[in-house]
Amino acid sequence: MVKIICGDSLWLFSLFVNPLWGAGIGVIWVLGRILFAWGYYQAAEKRTLGFGISYLSTIVLLIGALVGIILPLWKTIS
């Protein structure tokens, strides 16, 4: 489920906002997932940092994509 939300929000962010920023935030997401996996491998309690990084990057991509979609629509309506 997380991969679907991040993948879709990454695609929409890159399409409606900026592909370079989308790629940069996507790299941060991947690094967060690597830290999550490494922390989980060591001890389940150590996965918090990786989870936080990947979660925050997903939220940034999702909110950015929504703003990138809604803002032009709002300008054409008003």
pLDDT tens for each residue of 22-35: 999 999 999 999 99
In this prediction, residues 46-65 reach a mean pLDDT of 94
Number of domains in the chain: 1
- The set of residues, in sequence order, having a beta carbon less than 8 Å from that of 66 and lying 6+ positions away, is none
| Alpha carbon separation from 71 to 2, 6, 22, 60 (Å, rounded) | 26, 21, 18, 16
21: domain range?
Answer: 2-77
pLDDT, position 51: 93
Residue among 1, 7, 6, 12 at smallest CA distance from 66? 12
The C-alpha atoms of residue 50 and residue 36 are separated, in whole angstroms, by 4
| Other residues' Cβ atoms within 10 Å of the Cβ of residue 35 | 19
Residue 78 in this model has a pLDDT that exceeds 90: no
Split at pLDDT 50, 70, 90, the class of 45 is confident
pLDDT tens-digit map of 64-75: 999 999 999 998
- Please give the model's pTM, rounded to 2 decimal places: 0.86
